[in-house]
A = this chain, B = another copy of it.
Amino acid sequence: MSDAAPLVRPSGRRPDQLREVRIERGFTRHAEGSVLVSFGDTRVLCTASVENRVPPFLRGKGEGWVTAEYGMLPRATHTRSDREAARGKQGGRTLEIQRLIGRSLRACVDRGLLGERTITLDCDVLQADGGTRTAAITGAYVALVDAVNGLLARGEIKAKGGRTPVFGAVAAVSVGIWKGVPVLDLDYAEDSDCDTDMNVVMNDGGGFIELQGTAEGHAFRRDELDAMSALAEIGIARLVERQREALDG
């Protein structure tokens, strides 16, 4: 990678530039929270469903649960993938992603205040162009807030000492090393051709919640890790802003 010539990303973005982010609330009408989130051409429908029961391991403990499921429509991608329901099982990638989404959102929920309820975040990818899991987390947060605000509005949950079940905000973004340069929010063209890919989940206080880096080409060094972490902080700050705008809108 040349220091002299400026990097030209396939999308024409600067290294520290996110794709256009759109967060559309109320996309479908049945769910307690329903958000269509777009990171450029990546579009994920995130719904939050509230149920008055908890998994067996939590029964009778007065705590709630937040969990996630992830799916990709068969033709969200360039070539059609088999439908997981037809194959009879969810693949490793799907399970890995939905576990990540669930852990990430539980990090901003006070499960005691939630009471014995389960909120399930279904993240279904309508169109994929890289970064589906980070878009899913970012959008699912907004759907979660909508669902919890509904519970508060209907008086099903009461705030305690001013605190509500959701504290802070959670968002996620990918960073990577592409042609030797750290870049923010990789799209599919970059993702399939990068040296290192790292998904970062952070809260609005700048703390890391999850960090998953993989060397695709060659191993990455400490300074590259630092540069990617710094980029992620920038991206997350902007995403948290978009989330606020959407929730205020």
Interface residues, chain A, CB within 8 Å of chain B? 28-31, 34, 41, 43, 45, 47, 49, 51, 69, 71, 73-80, 83-86, 88-96, 98-99, 103, 107, 120, 122, 124, 126-128, 198, 202-203, 205-215, 218-222, 225-226, 229
- Whether B222 lies near A229 (C-beta < 8 A) is yes
A218 to B202, CA, bound (A): 11
A95 to B124, CA, bound (A): 21
Copies in the complex: 6
- Whether B94 lies near A74 (C-beta < 8 A) is no
Say which residue of B49, B103, B219, B221 sits within 8 Å of A107 (CB atoms).
B219
A229 to B222, CA, bound (A): 8
Say which residue of B29, B89, B95 sits within 8 Å of A96 (CB atoms).
B95
A222 to B222, CA, bound (A): 12
Main secondary structure of the interface of A (DSSP, over half): mixed
Provide the residues of chain B in CB contact with A31, threshold 8 Å.
75, 80
| Cβ distance A194 to chain B, nearest Cβ, rounded Å | 14
- Whether A225 lies near B213 (C-beta < 8 A) is no
- Whether A215 lies near B89 (C-beta < 8 A) is no
Of A45, A219, A225, chain B has the most CB atoms within 10 Å of the CB of A219
- Whether B202 lies near A209 (C-beta < 8 A) is no
A37 to B107, CA, bound (A): 34
A167 to B120, CA, bound (A): 44
| Cβ distance A137 to chain B, nearest Cβ, rounded Å | 14
